[in-house]
Structure 1
Amino acid sequence: MLKRLPITFWATVFVAVVCLSLVAIDGWRSLNARDELLAASERITSNLARSMAQHAEDTIAAADTSLADIVERIETDGAGPPAIARLHRLMEAQVARLPQLNGLFVYDESGRWVVNSRPVMNLAYNNADREYFEYHRTHPDRSPHIGVPVVSRSTGKWVLPVSRRLQRPDGAFAGVALATIDLDYFTRFYQSLDIGRRGAVALLHKQGTMLVRRPFDETRVGISIVNTPIYRQFSAGGQTGTGFFRSTQDGELRMNSYRALARYPLFVTAALSRDEVLEGWRRDTLLHSFGVMLLALLLALFGKRLIQQIERRLQAERELLQARDALESLNRTLEKLALQDGLTGLANRRQFDVTLGKEFSRAARAGSELAFIMMDVDYFKQYNDLYGHSAGDDCLRAISKTIRTLTPKRPGDLAARYGGEEIGILLPQTGVAGAQAVAERIRKAIEALRITHAGSPNGVVTISAGVAALVPQLPDSLPAELLEAADQALYAAKSAGRNRVHCAPPAA
C-alpha cells in the first residue's frame, strides 16, 4: 500500500519534515545561544568583580600601610616639633607617591589637627564631629576603620576615610590618624571598565552603605542599601555570588556578581544589563528566524532542488563541526591558562594541589620518596615598601624564571607559586639530599642575580628554603605532613638568619 503512494507525497512529506526540522533546530540553536550568552555574561561580571575587589584591596592596603607607619611614629617619637616636622615631610612624600591618596592627617584627642600632608599646614580645623573620630574615641580597636564617604574640609572633594586609633601607653585615647582616598580614583577606574551603556559597578560597605557607584551620582553616596535584593542575598549567601537583580537605583534588570574584600569590610558589585546583553541576540534571532522561514518556503516551492538543499545542509553541519573543534581547542587553551599563575608563569595553587595529591598517592603505591621544597623571598615586604609593588612583581618574575630554569624536568616535577612570595617545588622519587641540592642551586642562582635590596642585610634579594621528604604510608600519611615539615624547615632557615637552606629531620 505504501508503494502505491505517489512520489509527490513522499516529496511533500520529506520537505515538510525538513522544514519542521530546520525550524526546530533554529529554535534550539537560538535558545542554546541565549544560554551561552548569559553564561558568558556571568563569567564576565564575576571576573569584573574579582578585578574590582583586588583593586579596592590594593588601594586601601596602600593607604593603611601609610597609616600604620604614622601611628607607630607618633606613638614612638611623640608629637614634639622635630618629630612633627619629620612626620610632615613623610606624609607629603606618601601622598605624592600614592595617586589614590587625597591627604594624610593626624588629630589629637579633641579633634584638632596636629599635622597633615598639605604643603602649608592649616591647623584651624576640628574634626571631632566626624563619624570615624567618634568611632575611634569609643572603640579601643587598633585595626583600620573605613568610614562613610565625606566631603573633605580641606579640598572640597568626596573622599573615603580610612583611619586608625592613636592611644597613650596606658591605653587612653590620644587621637586619630586618617588617610582620605579620593573617590575620583575609584570613579576613574570604574569608567575604564567595559560594562556597556546600562551596566553598573559599585563599591559598598558590608554594613549596607553605598560608597562609590558607576554611573556616579553624588546624591546617592552614603545611602543605605540594606533593603535591596542584592544586599539581602549578599548577607545570607557568603562572600561571592551571582544573580539577576532589578536595581533599586534605576529599575534596570541586571546580571550582577558580587565579591567581598578579603581584609576589609567592603564588597564590590559588577552588573551588566540583561536587555543590553540580549539585544544583539534578539536581533540575530529575528534575522535568522526570518531566513529559516524563507528557506522553508523556498523548499516547499522548489522541491526538485532537494539534493542541492541537502548539500547545503551538509555544508552547514561541517561548519558547525569546525566551530565545535575550534571551541574545544579554545577550551583546552583556557584550561591550561587556568592552571598557571598569571604573574610568575609558574603553576598556580590549584595545579599544585592536584599534582601533590597524584604524586603522593603514586609515591605511596611505589614506596618511593617524595620531596618538597618551600621557598620564601627574604625581606620581601621591605622590598615592596622600598621600591613599590610594581618592582616587587618584577622581582618575583625574575626569581620565578630562575626557578623554572633550575627545576628538574622529570614527569611529576612541579614548581608552583604557593602563595604571595612563597614558591614550592615538588620532586617525586627524590630524597632530602637531592632536594637540598636543588634548593641550594636555586638559592645561589637567585643570589647571583644581584637584585639590589637596600632593606636586606645582604644588600641583594635572597631566598630561604625548607626541604622535607618522606615515603608516604597510606592511610597514615597525609600530604599536609610533607607541607608542614617543609614549612617548619623554612621557618628554621629564617630563624637561623635567612639566605640558607634547612632540611627537616627524617620522619619518625
Structure 2
Amino acid sequence: MNLLALVASAYWLAQSKQQFIQSAETHTRNIAGAVERNLSASVDKIDFALLHLVDDVQRLASSRNSMDGRSLNAAFAGMKARLPEIEGLRVADREGRVFLGSGMDLSKPVSITDRDYYQALRAAKDHPLWITKPVMGRLVKHPIVIFARRYDDARGNFAGVVFATIALDYFQHLLERYDLGAQGTIILRDLDLGLIVRNPPIPDQPSGQVGNSAVSNEFRKLFA
C-alpha cells in the first residue's frame, strides 16, 4: 500500500469512527427522549388519578363510617382499568393507618407512619405529589415505587394520604421496549443516582441491585 492509499484509508477510518460516534449519540438521545416522554406521561396520568381520588376522599372524610369502601371501590377499579401500571390504590388516615385499598385484606392493619412520603406530606404546607425511591411493599412483597398525595379535612388540616403503588416490573418493561443493540444499556436512576431499573438487568452483580449508586465521578459531576 503506497502512502497516498494509507492516508486515504486512515481518513476513511477516522470518518467512519466519527460517524459511528455521532450516530450512537443521536440514537442515545432519541431513546432517552422517548423514555422521558413515556415516564412523564405515566406520571401525569397517575397524578391525575390521585387528584380525583383526593377529591372523592375529601368529600367523604367527614366521618369514618361514610368511608367504608363501597363508594370508592368502583373508583379504584376504574382507575386500575384505565391505568394498568397502577398495582394498588390505598387510603390512609391521619394516624397513618391504611384503612381502604384495592386488593387488600382489611383485617390485617398496615401502618405507614415510618414512610418518608407520609411524614413529608403530613408536614407539608402545600400539597405536592410525592414519588418515593423503590421500597419493599408491605401488602405486596416485592419492590415498588409509591406515588402519594395528602388529603385534608373540612378545616383544611391534614387528614391522611392517598397513594398508588407501581411495581418495578412496570419500569423494567418500559425500558425493554427500546432496541439498544448488542452492547447497549439503559438505566433509570433516582435523584440520588440510586438504581431503579436497568436493561439488560444484572441482578447477580452489585451494580445491578436496586438502590446501587456506584457511578463514575464524571457521571456524578453531571448532576452536582
Match of 1:222 among 211, 217, 220: 211
- CA offsets 1:368-389 (integer angstroms, 9 cap, x no match): xxxxxxxxxxxxxxxxxxxxxx
Is there any run of 5+ residues in structure 2 with no aligned partner, and where? Answer: none
Write the distance in 2 (CA, Å) between the matches of 1:141 and 1:122: 33
Match of 1:47 among 30, 34, 37: 30
1:153-192 maps to which residues of 2 (within 5 A)? 153-192=138-177
Write the distance in 2 (CA, Å) between the matches of 1:150 and 1:20: 63
State the SS of the aligned residue for 1:234: coil
Aligned to 2:222: 233
Aligned to 2:198: 213
Write the distance in 1 (CA, Å) between the matches of 2:55 and 2:165: 19
Question: Closer, same or farther in 2 for the Cα pair 1:31/1:227, shift >3 Å?
Answer: closer
Query: How many aligned positions are there?
Result: 218
Question: Closer, same or farther in 2 for the Cα pair 1:225/1:57, shift >3 Å?
Answer: farther
> Quick one: which amino acid aligns to residue 43 of structure 1?
T
Write the distance in 2 (CA, Å) between the matches of 1:216 and 1:228: 23
State the SS of the aligned residue for 1:101: coil
Residue 66 (structure 1) aligned with residue 49 (structure 2): yes
TM superposition shift of 1:76: 2.2
Structure with higher helix content: 1
> Quick one: which amino acid aligns to residue 26 of structure 1?
S
Normalised TM-score (structure 2)? 0.87
Aligned to 1:142: 127
TM superposition shift of 1:125: 1.4
State the SS of the aligned residue for 2:197: strand
Q: Which has the higher contact order (CA 8 A, sep 6+)?
A: 2
TM superposition shift of 1:147: 0.8
Q: Is the contact made by 2:91 and 2:160 (CA closer than 8 Å) also made in structure 1?
A: yes
Is there any run of 5+ residues in structure 1 with no aligned partner, and where? Answer: 1-15, 236-508
TM superposition shift of 1:49: 0.3
Residue 97 (structure 1) aligned with residue 86 (structure 2): no
Question: Closer, same or farther in 2 for the Cα pair 1:164/1:123, shift >3 Å?
Answer: farther
Question: Closer, same or farther in 2 for the Cα pair 1:137/1:85, shift >3 Å?
Answer: same
Q: Is the contact made by 1:107 and 1:113 (CA closer than 8 Å) also made in structure 2?
A: yes
Write the distance in 1 (CA, Å) between the matches of 2:34 and 2:167: 19
**Identity over aligned residues, as a percent?**
25
Aligned to 1:34: 17
1:187-206 maps to which residues of 2 (within 5 A)? 187-206=172-191
Q: Is the contact made by 2:99 and 2:109 (CA closer than 8 Å) also made in structure 1?
A: no
Question: Closer, same or farther in 2 for the Cα pair 1:100/1:54, shift >3 Å?
Answer: same
- CA offsets 1:383-433 (integer angstroms, 9 cap, x no match): xxxxxxxxxxxxxxxxxxxxxxxxxxxxxxxxxxxxxxxxxxxxxxxxxxx
Question: Closer, same or farther in 2 for the Cα pair 1:207/1:165, shift >3 Å?
Answer: farther
Write the distance in 1 (CA, Å) between the matches of 2:96 and 2:129: 18
TM superposition shift of 1:201: 1.4
Identify the range of structure 1 (136-145 vs 64-73) with the bigger mean alpha-carbon deviation. Answer: 136-145
State the SS of the aligned residue for 2:223: helix
Write the distance in 1 (CA, Å) between the matches of 2:161 and 2:104: 20
Normalised TM-score (structure 1)? 0.40
State the SS of the aligned residue for 1:178: strand
Residue 21 (structure 1) aligned with residue 11 (structure 2): no
